[in-house]
């Protein structure tokens, strides 16, 4: 390709950078201060998340992998022939590999993620591991409408949403997400979802306060990202990782606490922090089998099956979408 043509095809600066700036400034000007958890996942954040999944204290990943390995054949039987499997927030795609190996009837796999490099790298790995499978990565925010590529629009669809990423939504947002997913997957569509369960407070606490400090780095990376991408001047040493279980709300809360009174500049705007003031960066809701089943039912889905581990730390659900216009909120 001639050099000039290559220059003309260079991508624009990251298209979502204006949105990122607007979201960050809106969150930091709010009272209490917040930042959207989806912004954890730049390249550095995705790598830190992968390190979290390998920590001895972070039980969800290995527990869910165990459930999927044990019940892969049962789950595979629920997936329609020649279907497209759409994974929301695919990350390393490790869990999808287990299902894809057990379900050769899946014709196309569509990992959807906002973390661009990881998404495309993992899609390449899957293409090597499953040469007959169409692997179609979609870089998109799964909370916004996104187009399915034409080659899969005619295929029956199944959804996959592991990792308890659904727990990072407020329950009413989870309901909206499930309704939208129903529209994407269609009447009778199957949705496989992983959900972290309520358990002993000490186990939950340790999972988000690991001894090696990887979760703290993951949390602080959101400030580092603001410095890198928006020219912010956060001093990371002046903020502390706080994570605790809020039993009343049944959620782990993650915050970044300012260790002193300070000012931070981002894109020419000054944000003031009181000593001890926090930025609320993430919620991770923990459900019971009963409470998640109720949420799914209230969002237009029926529970076809659910599987858990011997400790009942984590559950994997197979939901089926019932398209009932009177209840679907259209």
Interacting residues toward ligand SAH by CB under 6 A: 38, 41, 46, 49, 53, 61, 89-92, 95, 112-115, 141-143, 162-163, 165
Which partner, ligand AVI, ligand SAH, none, binds residue 142 by CB below 5 to 8 Å per kind?
Answer: ligand SAH
Picked from ligand SAH, ligand AVI, none, the partner binding residue 317 (CB below 5 to 8 A depending on kind) is none
H or E stretch at 283: strand 278-285
- Considering beta carbons, is residue 99 or 271 the nearer one to ligand SAH? 99
- Give which of 65, 131, 123 is closest to 99, Cα–Cα: 65
Q: Which of 163, 171, 189, 232 binds ligand AVI (CB under 6 A)?
A: 163
186 C-beta neighbours (distance < 10 Å), count: 11
167 part of the interface to ligand AVI, by CB under 6 A: yes
Burial class (CB in 10 A: 0-12, 13-18, 19+), 64: buried
**Least Å from the CB of residue 321 to ligand SAH:** 20
- Contact between 111 and ligand AVI per CB under 6 A: no
Pick from ligand SAH, ligand AVI, none: which does 141 bind, CB < 5 to 8 A by kind? ligand SAH
Beta carbons within 8 Å of 145's beta carbon, 6+ residues apart? 180
For position 313 contacting ligand AVI by CB under 6 A, the verdict is no
The residue among 66 and 269 lying less far from ligand SAH, judged by its C-beta, is: 66
Which pairing describes strands 278-285 and 251-258: parallel, antiparallel, or unpaired?
A: antiparallel
- Residue 106 forms beta bridges with which residues? 83
Q: Check residue 115 for interaction with ligand AVI (CB under 6 A).
A: no
Pattern 194-213, ligand AVI, x by CB under 6 A: --------------x-----
**Does the protein bind ligand AVI through residue 34 (CB under 6 A)?**
no
What are 285's strand-pairing partners? 251
Q: Which SS3 state, helix, strand or coil, does residue 154 take?
A: coil
Residue 141 C-beta: closest distance to ligand AVI, Å? 15
Question: Whole-angstrom Cα distance, residue 307 to residue 196?
Answer: 12
Cβ count near 211 (within 10 Å): 9
85, 96 Cβ separation under 8 angstroms: yes
- Name the residue nearer to ligand AVI (CB basis): 84 or 252: 252
Partners of 319 in the β-ladder: 191, 303
| Residues comprising the chain, all counted | 330
Return the number of other C-beta atoms located less than 10 Å from residue 27's C-beta. Answer: 18
Site string for ligand AVI, 36-55 (x = CB under 6 A): ----------------x---
Binding site residues, ligand AVI, CB under 6 A: 52, 163-165, 167-168, 208, 215, 218, 282, 284
């Amino acid at each position: 390709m001639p050099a000039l043509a290559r220059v003309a095809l260079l991508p624009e600066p990251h298209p979502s950078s204006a949105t990122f700036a607007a979201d960050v400034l809106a969150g930091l000007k709010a009272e209490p201060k917040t930042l959207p958890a989806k912004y954890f996942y730049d390249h550095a954040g995705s790598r830190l998340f992968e390190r979290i999944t390998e920590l001895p204290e972070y039980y969800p990943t290995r527990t869910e992998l165990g459930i999927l390995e044990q019940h892969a054949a049962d789950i595979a039987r629920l997936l329609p022939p020649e279907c497209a499997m759409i994974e929301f927030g695919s990350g390393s795609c490790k869990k999808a590999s287990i299902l894809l190996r057990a379900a050769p009837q899946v014709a196309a796999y569509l990992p959807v993620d906002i973390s661009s490099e990881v998404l495309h790298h993992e899609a390449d790995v899957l293409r090597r591991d499953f040469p007959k499978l169409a692997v179609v990565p979609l870089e998109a925010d799964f909370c916004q409408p996104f187009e399915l590529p034409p080659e899969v629009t005619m295929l029956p669809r199944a959804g996959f949403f592991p990792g308890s990423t659904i727990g990072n939504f407020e329950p009413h947002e989870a309901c909206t997400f499930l309704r939208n997913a129903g529209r994407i997957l269609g009447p009778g569509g199957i949705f496989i979802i992983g959900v972290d369960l309520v358990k002993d407070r000490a186990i939950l606490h340790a999972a988000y306060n690991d001894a090696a400090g990887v979760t703290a780095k993951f949390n602080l990376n959101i400030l580092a990202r603001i410095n890198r991408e928006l020219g912010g001047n956060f001093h990371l040493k002046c903020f502390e990782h706080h994570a605790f279980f809020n039993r009343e709300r049944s959620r782990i809360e993650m915050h970044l606490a300012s260790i002193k009174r300070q000012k931070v500049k981002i894109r020419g705007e000054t944000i003031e922090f009181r000593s001890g003031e926090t930025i609320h960066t993430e919620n991770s809701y923990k459900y019971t089998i009963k409470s998640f089943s109720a949420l799914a039912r209230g969002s237009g889905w029926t529970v076809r099956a659910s599987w858990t581990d011997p400790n009942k730390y984590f559950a994997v659900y197979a939901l089926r979408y019932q398209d009932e216009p009177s209840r679907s909120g259209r």
